[in-house]
A and B are shown apart, each in its own frame.
Chain A
Amino acid sequence: MAEYPRAEHILNESTEVPTGRLGIWWFLASEVVIFGGLIATYVLFRWQHPEWAAEASHTLNFAGALNTMVLLTSSLTVVLAHAAITEGKFQLAARNLGFTLLGGAIFMGVKAYEYSHEIAAGFVPARSLFWSFYYTMTGLHALHVLGGMIAIATVLVAVRKGHAPQRVEYVGLYWHFVDIVWIFLFPLLYLAS
């Protein structure tokens, strides 16, 4: 693996793990408990309320499935970007990050279609507790997708100019996390109906 450049104020790396990678993993740990708290709360409620299955049948399974596919594919391209950067191919990495960005955009577009369709049909957040959870969980996740897209766009610009190769891995880790959260949300909110 290519050597990661080190900031001038980093005098020593005791564990020989790049400091940025360590920071990202701790950041993801903090994110896990945020979504963990929300998902655990939802699961406990859902357990008590089997009748929510009828509500959940109004979610758009095909849209959710499409989004799952889009998000997983965008995770593949971010891995390809990482592979390219370890071989020093900055332009190829940038192109793959671009594909990931496109995936994120499609995901958000489908999400917007779903929300507007559901709200038009009367399934608003205040309709019942299931829909409250649905919008809170998918909404918080969508905000993370948006944040990830901003981060990836920033890294893309730097990588095109041949800077900051280490950041491809860091945004990649974050993008995988966002992806994995969706893997939990999709069956819990859409499929279990």
Chain B
Amino acid sequence: MSTAAIAHPKSFWREYVFSTDHKTIAKQYLSTGIFMALVGGLLAYVMRMQLAYPGQAIPGYGTIDPQSYNAVVTMHGTIMIFWVAMPILLAAFGNFLIPLMIGAADMAFPRLNMLSYWIFFLSTVVLLASFFVPGGAAAGGWTSYPPLSGSAAYSGGQWGVTLWLLAVAMEFAAFLMGGINFITTAINNRAPGMKLFDMPLMVWMQLGASIIFLFSVGPLIAGAVMLILDRVAATGFYNPATGGDPILFQHLFWFFGHPEVYVILLPGFGAVAEVLPVFSRKPFFGYRMMVYATIITGVLSFIVWAHHQFIAGIDPRLATAFSITTILISVPIAVMTFAFIATLYKGSIELKTPMLFALGTLVVFLLGGVTGIHLGTAATDIYLHDTYFVVAHFHYTLIPPVFFGFFAAWYYWFPKMFGRMLNEGLGKAHFWLTFIFMHVTFIPMFLLGFGGHHRRISNPQFFEAMQGPEAERLQIIATAGAIGILLSQIPFVVNSVLSLLRGAKAPANPWQANTLEWTVPSPPPHGNFETVPQVYRGPYEYSVPDRVDDWFPQDAKV
């Protein structure tokens, strides 16, 4: 059957707004995610300025009171995880790439896909609206622990946390729809000849992330329902006075929250896995091992959650068990890292911008992963818990997939998405500036954390232990770094806008890559493939001996 037979939508609304085309939906998620990244970035700016120059007026904002500072911290975390990492890495790139990479005309359920985006859009509106309600936005941290989030008396107002919970619940519903779509499509709608082990690793990673999300989010949905009822219906699920238990929410939250780390990490690693073989002209090292490591990571991620609660009063015997599982999960992650490095070994490495960002992902994530050992071990965590060490650690683990992984994907698939080439010089400037300022921002936080500097404190001068010229100097360096990161995005924006307007037209396969998305025009037409592709081989057959071309497309017969 020819896919060109699929009717192309005619009206403006059906084509650009209420579209069922996976590529348009991907771009909708992408633009919403980038907009929210800007909001999250500006919140970080406010937070960093307050920490470096406590109590002074922040240019463009003014002075900030403790309640608003807490709201800024809360919303920065919430937005960056749920409204930036998830829509960009999963929804945007998953939507764009899964059908193209497996040779499908669209997602399995295109209308469900559209519904998913518009529910997500609505959740974005609800979240942003929560800034402007009486009492301000939620201020109980992105984890929203009760009792802080459990009653209006503690959270500053009745509306902030309730709207936060509503927005997050809608966001989860949107991503469940998206996840079911991803899983069904990847399992069932592969082109003839493409076996599971012929799927590009990006598809595996999206599949893994979707399954992890689907199985972990349920208990938190139940937990969020109970928290909403505690607030509006006077139930007492998390209130010790009525026999409830605030620790219960921590369990339900982190049963989802820790697998969520891998939901975000895997698609970022997927982008790295696609970029490395193309720019080293080598087969991916240990493709199957990579898939097995993904599965093992997924399974283990469900039994590590209590390492977030070592000082919450859980049984010390439990703490030991969770320390062990936490250290254990670094094994499959190390397998992935070594597979990446071995893919580079003796390759013809070409340091184009996507490759730089892919390598940057590995370098930064390695530091994040190693510092995770300190926190996963109960004994050291008891000292470091809730200090800036934790803040530095999770930025070192999340920025690689969320930003470096996203940028690797952006520079790699931009030609396919928009049909234009990006400028290499501006791309490299973007990488080096972001990479350098990333360390300038977060290395001081490791040091502050070792010094006992507590996080989520609106003004360090309130506490004697957090004063002193050294701590002040480190805070100022970190703030300078954070502003540097924000300014480093100027070449990215300029490059993207200029290239969209007048970049060189992109050929179908600018990187000479093997996977199916490069066999269709850039940008791909509605319905993607002229004829249903037939797949003959795996995705990473580069530099095959006795072949003239050093790449071997998956659908090429000989």
Contacts and interface: CB of A to CB of B under 8 A. Distances in A.
Contact of B188 (A8, A13, A136): A13
A33 B237 contact: no
A32 B218 contact: yes
Nearest to B105: A9
A38 B244 CA distance: 14
B205 interface: no
B180 A14 contact: no
A23 B226 contact: no
A125 interface: yes
Interface in A35-77: 35-38, 40-41, 49
B184 interface: yes
A38 B229 CA distance: 14
10 contacts: A12-B532, A14-B194, A22-B184, A32-B218, A41-B226, A125-B233, A126-B236, A129-B243, A132-B236, A135-B235
Given A11-B104, A19-B108, A30 B236 contact: no
Q: B215, B219, B242: which has the most chain A beta carbons within 10 Å?
A: B219
Interface in B183-199: 183-184, 187-192, 194
B252 interface: yes
B187 A22 contact: yes
Contact of A34 (B183, B218, B236, B248): B218
A132 B235 contact: yes
Most buried by B among A40, A128, A132: A132
B217 interface: yes
B109 interface: yes
A169 to B, nearest CB: 15
A29 B183 CA distance: 12
Contacts of A1: none
- Most chain A CB neighbours (cut-off 10 Å) among B217, B229, B235: B235
Contacts of A26: 179-180, 183-184, 214
A23 B184 contact: yes
Nearest to B21: A9
A30 B190 contact: no
A41 B223 CA distance: 9
B222 interface: yes
Interface stretch (B1-9, B361-369, B514-522): B1-9
A15 B187 contact: yes
B191 A125 contact: no
A38 B189 contact: no
B187 A30 contact: no
A125 B108 contact: no
B214 A19 contact: no
B243 A49 contact: yes
A37 B103 CA distance: 37
A183 interface: no
A27 interface: yes
B106 interface: yes
A29 B532 contact: no
Contacts of B109: 19, 23
Given A11-B1, A23-B108, A30-B180, A36 B218 contact: yes
B222 A38 contact: yes
A172 to B, nearest CB: 18
A30 B226 contact: no
Interface string A113-157: 000000000000110110010011000100000000000000000
Given A12-B189, A19-B188, A37 B243 contact: no
B305 to A, nearest CB: 13
B219 A128 contact: no
A33 B217 contact: yes
Interface of A: 8-15, 17, 19, 22-23, 26-27, 29-38, 40-41, 49, 125-126, 128-129, 132, 135-136, 140
B208 to A, nearest CB: 14
Contact of B219 (A9, A17, A27, A33): A33
Contacts of B234: 125-126
Contacts of B225: 38, 136, 140
A29 B181 CA distance: 13
B189 to A, nearest CB: 6
Q: Is the interface of A mostly helix, strand, loop or mixed?
A: helix
Contact of A12 (B192, B214, B219): B192
B194 A9 contact: no
A26 B229 CA distance: 28
Given A12-B190, A34-B221, A136 B184 contact: no
A49 B242 CA distance: 12
A36 B255 CA distance: 13
A38 B192 CA distance: 42
Nearest to A33: B218
Contacts of B236: 126, 129, 132
A33 B216 CA distance: 7
Given A26-B184, A132-B229, A12 B176 contact: no
A8 B65 CA distance: 57
B484 interface: no
Contacts of B229: 125, 132, 136
Contacts of A27: 176, 180
B110 interface: yes
Given A41-B252, A140-B225, A129 B244 contact: yes
Given A37-B218, A132-B237, A11 B191 contact: yes
A41 B248 contact: yes
B376 interface: no
Nearest to B255: A37
Given A14-B194, A140-B225, A129 B184 contact: no
B6 A9 contact: yes
A99 B220 CA distance: 35
A187 to B, nearest CB: 19
Nearest to B218: A33
B190 A8 contact: no
A36 B6 CA distance: 41
Query: Which of B184, B252, B529, B532 counts the most chain A CB atoms within 10 A?
Result: B184
B527 interface: yes
A128 B234 CA distance: 10
A192 to B, nearest CB: 17
A50 to B, nearest CB: 13
A96 B342 CA distance: 61
Nearest to A52: B243
Contacts of A140: 225
B185 to A, nearest CB: 8
Contact of A10 (B108, B180, B252): B108
Interface in B229-247: 229, 233-237, 242-244
Contact of B189 (A13, A35, A36): A13
